Amino acid sequence: MSRSRTNSARLFSEAQSLIPGGVNSPVRAFKAVGGNPLFIESAQGCRLRDVDGNEYIDYVGSWGPLILGHAHPDVVRAIQQAALRGTSYGAPTPLEVELARKIHHFFPSMERVRLVSSGTEAVMSALRVARAFTGRDKILKFDGCYHGHSDSLLVQSGSGVATLGLPDSAGVPSEFTSHTLSIPFNDLEALEKAFTKYKNQIAAVIVEPVPANMGVILPGPNFLSELLLLCRKHQTLVIFDEVITGFRLAAGGAQEFFGLSAPLTCLGKIVGGGLPLAAYGGRSDIMKLIAPDGPVYQAGTLSGNPIAVSAGLKTLDILETEKPYGRLEKMAAKLVEGISQAASHSGIALRVQRCGSMLTPFFSDAPVTDFLSAKRSDTSLFGSFFRKMLERGIYLAPSQFEACFVSSAHSDQEIAVTIQRANEALSEVAASV
């Protein structure tokens, strides 16, 4: 079953002499799972093809944006047509107004929207306006939640930071993180204690409503609603980081999924249809502080780029028309059930945690409810499982602390094949323990 990856190995060797670690984003390096990364030549639907001609059923989906699958013909056509009109103007376009209107339609809490180019930029900007609105400095986040790589948020982060075992990042002065608090996810008692200790000092609480950067962790019953109530009581803003959950759990993201409304929201990934685009927005009285209307400065040469906006608009149009969420839910549930049964037959302790079409297999026999319990899972077994699935043509997220994604391009056949190969892989993992 061995697949030749000679060309990938050659490219990785060359890349390491030119690019830090040979990759442009750390998790891609496969350090958490062993082996060398794949270099991808092309993708279509739910399948990837590497530079050695190997094909894989893909459950990464560019880390979440490709809910419609790779190279959806309508999205590609929208990109091509936009490029023919010019790649960037540095001036307002009708498309930006249309996308802002569409975002507000799906996220009514986002009364005003500012487009940016990345989730990191959206979060950084939302924090700035939250501090300006409240006149406070401190920000509270949750252990294991990743909100991009801006300096003040690289404290107990998930994503690649957790994968590489780094509790923080070199090059970040302690003064930059001195106003950042981090507490366990799902812990309302710790949140109440933080408000007591730092009375009238916390500008905002930022949260992934369903964390996906320490693996998929579900919020406990009433955790999010109680968080919103506590913050309202203490006149602290809540920022829902829906870079991953936005348009993923439902058209209106986690806020629609859980029936909630946040003062500020950050979007990314799906909102750009696979191109570099993100957004932040919220109540009008908060957003009016942003320049040129107010004193909070934020700008970007490529913000509202017409090609990215066109891809995002077409993706949201398709989601609104086709309403794929029920089917995505069923396929993801079937996949989780199949992998869980395979693990049970193999005698391996495995919990596959899922919310909507995002999921993570944790090699653990205990509930995974926060960053600490996620880190107790057996990452060595995960690495072995990942490699054996890769050999069988299944491309999972190359980290225990990331999410896998089902797209509308997956069919029942691909789900069935994945379950069958998971059964084989887990049997081999069990035999090697």
Q: CB–CB of 273/315 below 8 Å?
A: yes
For residue 127, give the nearest of 260, 219, 231, 263 by alpha carbon. 263
Instruction: Quickly tell me which residue has 């040979």 as its tokens.
Output: 22
Sorted by sequence, the CB contacts under 8 Å of residue 67 that are 6+ apart come out as: 61, 247, 248, 270, 315, 319, 324, 328, 357, 405, 407, 408
- CA separation for the pair 413, 409 (Å, rounded): 11
Q: CB–CB of 167/154 below 8 Å?
A: no
Expressed in angstroms, the distance from the first to the final Cα of the chain is: 21
Write the DSSP assignment of 240-288 as a string of letters.
EEETTTBTTTBTTHHHHHHT---SEEEE-GGGGTTSS-EEEEE-HHHHT
For residue 162, give the nearest of 377, 386, 404 by alpha carbon. 377
176, two tokens: 């930059």
Instruction: Quickly tell me which residue has 């309202």 as its tokens.
Output: 232
| Residues designated as active site | 146, 241, 269
For residue 115, give the nearest of 302, 314, 289 by alpha carbon. 302
Q: CB–CB of 245/357 below 8 Å?
A: no
| Residue 106, H or E segment | helix 94-106
